Structure 1
Amino acid sequence: MKIVHVLTRLLRAGSEENTLACCLAQARHGHEVLLVHGQEYDAGLRASVAGAIRVVTLEKLINSISPSRDISAFGQLTRLLRDWQPDIVHTHQSKAGIVGRLAAKEANVRCIVHGVHILPFVHVGNAQRLMFLAAERLAAKVTRAFIDVSQAMRDICIANHLGSPDQHHVVHSGFDLTRFANAQWPQEPHLLLGTAAGEPKPPVILMLAALEPRKRHVEFIEAFGQVVDRIPNVRLILAGEGPTRSAVEAAIERSPFANNVRMIGYHCEPERLISLADVCVLTSMREGLPRVVMQYLAGGRASVVSHLPGVEEVVKHGVNGIVTPAEDVGAAAAAIADLLQNERYRAQLAASAKFTDLSSWGMDAMCDRVESIYQSVLESALSAARPNDPRIRDGLAKQTVGLHGF
Structure 2
Amino acid sequence: MKIVHVLTRLLRGGSEENTLACCLAQAGHGHEVLLVHGREYDPGLRASVAGALRVVTLEDLINPISPSRDISAFRQLTRLMRDWRPDIVHTHQSKAGIIGRLAAEQANIPGIVHGVHILPFVHVSNTQRLIFLAAERLAARCTRAFIDVSQAMRDICVANHLGGPDQHHVVHSGFDLARFANAQWPEETHLLLGTAAGEPKPPVVLMLAALEPRKRHVELIEAFGQVVDRIPNVRLLLAGEGPARSAVASAIERSAFAKNVRMIGYHGEPEKLISLADVCVLTSMREGLPRVVMQYLAGGRPCVVSHLPGVEEVVTHGVNGIVTPVDNVSAAAASVADLLENERYRARLADGARLTDLSSWGLDAMCDRVETIYRSVQASALSAARPNVTRGILGGTAKRASRLHRPISTGRF
**Segments of 4+ moved more than 4 angstroms:** 387-390
Instruction: Report what 1:181 is aligned to.
Output: 181
3-state DSSP of counterpart to 1:89? strand
3-state DSSP of counterpart to 1:10? coil
CA separation in 2, counterparts of 1:389 and 1:222? 63
- Verify: 1:19 aligned to 2:24, yes or no: no
Unpaired runs of 5+ residues, structure 1, are 391-406
CA separation in 1, counterparts of 2:75 and 2:389? 33
Letter matched to residue 181 of structure 2: A
Instruction: Report what 2:395 is aligned to.
Output: none
- Verify: 1:342 aligned to 2:345, yes or no: no
Matches within 5 A, 1:128-277: 128-277=128-277
Deviation string, structure 1 residues 332-354 (Cα, Å, up to 9, x no partner): 00000000000000000001101
CA separation in 1, counterparts of 2:83 and 2:257? 55
Instruction: Report what 2:117 is aligned to.
Output: 117
CA separation in 1, counterparts of 2:223 and 2:386? 61
Deviation string, structure 1 residues 188-217 (Cα, Å, up to 9, x no partner): 111110101111000000000000010000
Instruction: Report what 2:401 is aligned to.
Output: none
Matches within 5 A, 1:70-81: 70-81=70-81
CA separation in 1, counterparts of 2:241 and 2:198? 29
CA separation in 1, counterparts of 2:221 and 2:135? 34
Letter matched to residue 309 of structure 1: P
Q: CA deviation at 1:165?
A: 0.2
CA separation in 2, counterparts of 1:107 and 1:159? 29
Letter matched to residue 237 of structure 2: I
Deviation string, structure 1 residues 258-307 (Cα, Å, up to 9, x no partner): 00011100000000000000000000000000000000000000110000
CA separation in 1, counterparts of 2:94 and 2:294? 23
Alignment TM-score, normalising by the size of structure 1:
0.95
Instruction: Report what 1:282 is aligned to.
Output: 282
CA separation in 2, counterparts of 1:15 and 1:40? 14
CA separation in 2, counterparts of 1:187 and 1:158? 47
Q: CA deviation at 1:17?
A: 0.3
Q: CA deviation at 1:387?
A: 5.6
Deviation string, structure 1 residues 335-392 (Cα, Å, up to 9, x no partner): 00000000000000001101100000000000000010000000110121016979xx
Instruction: Report what 1:38 is aligned to.
Output: 38
Q: CA deviation at 1:19?
A: 0.2
The structure that has the greater radius of gyration is 2
Instruction: Report what 1:296 is aligned to.
Output: 296
CA separation in 2, counterparts of 1:285 and 1:68? 30
Deviation string, structure 1 residues 198-257 (Cα, Å, up to 9, x no partner): 110000000000000100000100001000000000000000000000000000000011
Unpaired runs of 5+ residues, structure 2, are 391-413
3-state DSSP of counterpart to 1:386? helix
Instruction: Report what 1:5 is aligned to.
Output: 5
Alignment TM-score, normalising by the size of structure 2:
0.94
- Length, aligned pairs only: 390
Instruction: Report what 2:364 is aligned to.
Output: 364
CA separation in 2, counterparts of 1:282 and 1:335? 12
